[in-house]
């Protein structure tokens, strides 16, 4: 059966409740399920306990000597304890919160135990128990899960889907499948989820990584080919001396002086607007480098030439922040600025829709609701997307279908090395903002162990006593993509430690409205400590926040740590970033010594090298399901080369046999 003809509810044992759990993981159809790949692999191999050291992770097979004792605690917690005969020794095994397994135990039964070995007390604290014997080395995928859905259940559903599928769409042109001797797509997906050996797993990974990167580079080339760069299609703009004088006047009215990089970026935008092609520019800037003011000037230039601007932010709270910034900068100008977000009342929305349609708004600020079907613009000349949202093919088509092809600016706070940027953003022109605005102090970064937490709490208390605020970032954990438990636990601990202050929480299970309310309270200093997952990596400008504490910092990628650090240091106040880790790795030491995002991204690329097959994939990358741009850059370059060959020699953009591939590209945002 073709994958497209199977529904999730067709799978044996998958009911509506499980479907909701899968939806929380972003799995809405069979293709989503089959491409929900493990984020790392465990190699299971039994060890000899006689050679094991204290606290070593071990896998042992043994014979059950005693029926487990079940002890229950408050809060629906429990533990099982039993004795296991392993080789020539008797070992005590304890496993927590698996009381339901008790009926599976039989004296004399051979089982496999995975856990941490306490050699001093001859005890294994188990993380998993298998009721069979591990007879050979086994490779198992580890999947991100959510509360209510186990890794085992995910794999059962995936294997059920694979049983029903006799074919999976392969988007690699057959020419390259033969050239590189790639394995069949269905075989590759089966091996990814159920690897039998390392070599075949590597071959399957290469196949699927190449396919993802081939599609990605084809999208880049597709955008290049479809850029409206003929003279007839370009917006008519009169950029003369009078306009330049008005720009300089606004610069002089600012309460601060623009940096050289900001001025250069504004000049780049002016050149684009005067040219005979549509602007398609990426503005890369380190956290806190002042990208927003460049966007404000772009909107001002667009206004002076007679066109409307749309400024899109990824969240309502950021949209509100931008709206207030725009209103403040243009308080003495007759520029009509409006805010359109989800919480805007229906009456206000209808009024804004009418004003956009009639041209009575000069600058509209909001979320991606700005480009929905029910929004009509009279003379939209510029669209700016803030933070990490790339303006997708479908979104461009949405505006094009309305007869609009505006200039486009993207702003990213995740700087990447220029060599990589020219490949990844090959359809865009690039402006870099590296210089920190004047008056900003370097964020003092330090590494503390868990035993030194008292020092960290004293620092937070000192800052709170001086009416400042603090972020606390919850550590990443394997079994819950939302880190919900960690956030709740930290909130309880900090409420006990700081009884006279308000502690808020922010995590992925909250609705957008709830998140915005929490961030708004924090920005207004109604909340002094914000316990959060990495959802604040792209967050509001809370100038009063002066300290950020990141627990288990080694679990985060270097660039992501730098992004998190950028939540503080947004004013002239001295700010601090404390990295909590019992292992001061090279990555953390780099962050402590360096605060240049561009240099950090270079180091991040070097550190990660060719990657580790069994390592944890870093957070914060572009959303590939298999590929990793840093680790797989050589594959990306080969895919880029092959895409160019396909366009020039295989007629890939026009030949009907590639229609599925082109449809796939068109569906990418």
What digits encode the pLDDT tens for the residues 518-531? Answer: 888 998 999 999 99
What is d(CA 372, CA 583) in angstroms, rounded to the nearest whole number? 48
What digits encode the pLDDT tens for the residues 171-223? Answer: 899 999 999 999 999 999 999 999 988 899 999 999 999 999 998 888 877 76
Give φ, ψ of 395 to 5 degrees. Answer: -70, -40
CATH number for domain 46-136, candidates 1.20.1090.10, 3.90.1010.10, 3.30.830.10, 2.40.50.140: 2.40.50.140
Give φ, ψ of 100 to 5 degrees. Answer: -65, -15
Q: At what angle do helices 16-24 and 151-164 cross, to 10 degrees?
A: 100
What is d(CA 176, CA 638) in angstroms, rounded to the nearest whole number? 11
Give φ, ψ of 382 to 5 degrees. Answer: -150, 135
Give the N- to C-terminal CA distance of the chain in Å, as an integer.
28
Best CA proximity match to 462, nearest among 547, 523, 578, 572: 547
Beta bridge partners of 59: 114
What digits encode the pLDDT tens for the residues 28-79? Answer: 989 899 999 998 888 888 888 988 888 888 899 999 999 999 999 887 889 9
**According to the model, what pLDDT value does residue 328 have?**
93
Same fold, 231-433 and 444-594: yes
Q: How confident is the model at residue 495 (pLDDT cuts 50, 70, 90)?
A: very high
Of residues 206 and 618, the one with the higher pLDDT is 206
The H or E element that residue 524 is part of is none
CA dihedral (227, 228, 229, 230) positive or negative = positive
Among 327-336, 485-494, 530-539, 545-554, name the one with the lowest average pLDDT.
530-539
CA dihedral (245, 247, 252, 257) positive or negative = negative
The H or E element that residue 42 is part of is strand 40-44
What digits encode the pLDDT tens for the residues 594-609? Answer: 888 778 877 776 665 4
Q: Which residues contact 547 (CB under 8 A, 6 or more apart)?
A: 459, 460, 463, 468, 470, 471, 568, 575, 576, 577, 578
Say which residue the tokens 């990974």 belong to.
Answer: 205
What is d(CA 93, CA 83) in angstroms, rounded to the nearest whole number? 6
What is d(CA 89, CA 62) in angstroms, rounded to the nearest whole number? 10
What digits encode the pLDDT tens for the residues 323-340? Answer: 999 999 999 999 999 999
DSSP strands (E only) in 323-438: 337-340, 363-366, 380-385, 407-412, 429-433
Beta-carbon count within 10 A of 339 CB: 21
**According to the model, what pLDDT value does residue 398 have?**
60
Q: How confident is the model at residue 152 (pLDDT cuts 50, 70, 90)?
A: confident
Among 141-145, 160-164, 363-367, 410-414, name the one with the lowest average pLDDT.
410-414
Is 614 a residue whose pLDDT tops 60?
no
What does DSSP assign to residue 167?
B
Instruction: Write down the architecture of domain 444-594 according to CATH.
Output: 3-Layer(aba) Sandwich (3.40)
Is 104 a residue whose pLDDT tops 50?
yes
Q: What angle do CA 594, 599, 601 make, to 5 degrees?
A: 110
Helix (H, G, I), strand (E, B), or coil: what is residue 250? helix
What residue ranges do the domains of the chain occupy? 46-136, 231-433, 444-594
Q: Are 389 and 318 in contact (CB under 8 A)?
A: no
Is 426 a residue whose pLDDT tops 70?
no
What is d(CA 84, CA 484) in angstroms, rounded to the nearest whole number? 34
CATH superfamily, region 231-433: P-loop containing nucleotide triphosphate hydrolases (3.40.50.300)
What is d(CA 519, CA 567) in angstroms, rounded to the nearest whole number? 12
Strand order in the sheet with 429-433: 337-340, 363-366, 308-312, 380-385, 407-412, 280-285, 429-433
Question: What average pLDDT does the segment 130-159 reach?
Answer: 87
DSSP strands (E only) in 268-331: 280-285, 308-312
Say which residue the tokens 């408050």 belong to.
Answer: 74
Among 229-243, 316-330, 439-453, name the one with the lowest average pLDDT.
229-243
Of residues 285 and 551, the one with the higher pLDDT is 551
What is d(CA 45, CA 512) in angstroms, rounded to the nearest whole number? 44
In order, the DSSP letters of 528-582 are SEEEE-GGGGS----TTEEEEEETTGGGS-HHHHHHHHTTS--SSS--EEEEE-S
Is 564 a residue whose pLDDT tops 60?
yes
What digits encode the pLDDT tens for the residues 252-272? Answer: 999 889 999 999 999 999 999
Q: Which residues contact 582 (CB under 8 A, 6 or more apart)?
A: 449, 450
Helix (H, G, I), strand (E, B), or coil: what is residue 283? strand
Among 119-133, 161-175, 527-541, name the one with the lowest average pLDDT.
527-541
**According to the model, what pLDDT value does residue 165 have?**
86
CA dihedral (449, 450, 452, 455) positive or negative = positive
Percent of the chain with pLDDT over 90: 42
Q: Are 562 and 415 in contact (CB under 8 A)?
A: no
What is d(CA 246, CA 259) in angstroms, rounded to the nearest whole number? 19
Q: How confident is the model at residue 94 (pLDDT cuts 50, 70, 90)?
A: very high
Q: Which residues contact 639 (CB under 8 A, 6 or more apart)?
A: 210, 213, 214, 216, 217
What letters, b where the CB count within 10 A reaches 16 and e where it falls short, cover 573-599?
bebbbbbbbeeeeebbebbeebbebbb
């Amino acid at each position: 059966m073709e994958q497209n003809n199977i529904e999730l509810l067709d799978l044996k044992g998958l009911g509506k409740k499980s479907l909701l759990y899968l939806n929380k993981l972003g799995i809405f159809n069979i293709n989503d399920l089959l491409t929900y790949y493990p984020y790392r692999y465990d190699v299971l191999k039994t060890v000899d306990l006689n050679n094991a050291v204290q606290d070593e992770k071990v896998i042992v097979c043994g014979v059950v000597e005693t029926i487990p004792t079940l002890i229950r605690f408050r809060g629906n917690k429990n533990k099982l304890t039993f004795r296991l005969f392993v080789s020539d020794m008797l070992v005590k095994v304890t496993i927590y919160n698996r009381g339901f397994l008790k009926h599976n135990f039989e004296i004399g039964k051979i089982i496999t135990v995975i856990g941490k070995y306490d050699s001093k007390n001859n005890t294994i604290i188990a993380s998993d128990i298998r009721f069979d014997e591990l007879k050979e080395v086994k490779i198992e995928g580890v999947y991100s899960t959510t509360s209510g859905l186990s890794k085992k259940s995910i794999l059962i559903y995936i294997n059920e889907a694979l049983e029903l599928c006799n074919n999976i769409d392969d988007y690699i042109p057959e020419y390259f499948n033969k050239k590189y001797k790639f394995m069949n797509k269905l075989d590759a997906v089966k091996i990814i989820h159920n690897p039998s050996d390392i070599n075949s797993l590597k071959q399957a990974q290469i196949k699927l990584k190449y396919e993802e990167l081939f599609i990605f580079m084809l999208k880049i080339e597709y955008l290049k080919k479809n850029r409206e760069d003929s003279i007839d299609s370009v917006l008519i703009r009169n950029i003369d001396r009078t306009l330049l004088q008005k720009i300089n006047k606004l610069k002089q009215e600012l309460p601060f002086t623009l940096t050289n990089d900001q001025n250069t970026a504004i000049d780049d935008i002016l050149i684009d607007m005067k040219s005979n092609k549509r602007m398609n520019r990426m503005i890369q800037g380190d956290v806190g480098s002042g990208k927003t003011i460049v966007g404000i000037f772009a909107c001002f230039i667009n206004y002076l030439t007679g066109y409307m601007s749309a400024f899109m932010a990824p969240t309502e709270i950021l949209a509100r922040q931008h709206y207030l910034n725009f209103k403040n900068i243009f308080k003495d100008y007759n520029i009509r600025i409006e805010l359109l977000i989800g919480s805007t009342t229906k009456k206000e929305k209808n009024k804004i829709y009418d004003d956009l349609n009639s041209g009575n708004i000069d600058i509209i600020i909001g979320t991606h609701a700005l480009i929905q079907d029910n929004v009509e613009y009279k003379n939209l000349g510029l669209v700016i997307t803030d933070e990490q949202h790339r303006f997708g093919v479908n979104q461009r088509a949405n505006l094009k279908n309305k007869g609009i092809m505006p200039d486009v600016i993207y702003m990213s706070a995740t700087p990447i090395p220029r060599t990589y940027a020219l490949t990844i953003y090959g359809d865009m022109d690039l402006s870099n903002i590296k210089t920190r605005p004047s008056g900003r102090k370097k964020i003092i970064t330090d590494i503390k162990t868990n035993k030194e937490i008292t020092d960290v709490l004293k620092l937070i208390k000192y800052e709170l006593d001086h009416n400042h605020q603090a972020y606390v970032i919850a550590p990443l954990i394997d079994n819950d993509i939302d880190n919900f438990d960690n956030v709740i636990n930290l909130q309880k601990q900090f409420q006990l430690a700081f009884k006279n202050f308000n502690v808020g929480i922010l995590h992925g299970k909250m609705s957008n409205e709830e998140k915005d309310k929490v961030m708004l309270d924090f920005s207004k200093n109604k909340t002094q400590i914000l316990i959060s997952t990495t959802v604040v990596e792209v967050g509001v400008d809370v100038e009063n926040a002066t300290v950020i504490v990141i627990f288990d910092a080694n679990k985060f990628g270097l660039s992501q740590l730098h992004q998190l650090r950028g939540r503080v240091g947004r004013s002239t106040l001295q700010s601090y970033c404390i990295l909590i880790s019992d292992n001061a790795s090279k990555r953390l030491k780099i962050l402590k010594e360096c605060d240049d995002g561009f240099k950090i991204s270079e180091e991040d690329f070097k550190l990660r090298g060719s990657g580790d097959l069994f390592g944890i994939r870093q957070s914060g990358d572009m959303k590939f399901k298999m590929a990793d741009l840093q680790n797989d850059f050589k594959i990306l370059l080969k895919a880029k080369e092959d895409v160019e060959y396909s366009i020039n020699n295989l007629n890939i953009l026009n030949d009907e046999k590639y229609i599925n591939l082109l449809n796939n590209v068109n569906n990418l945002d």
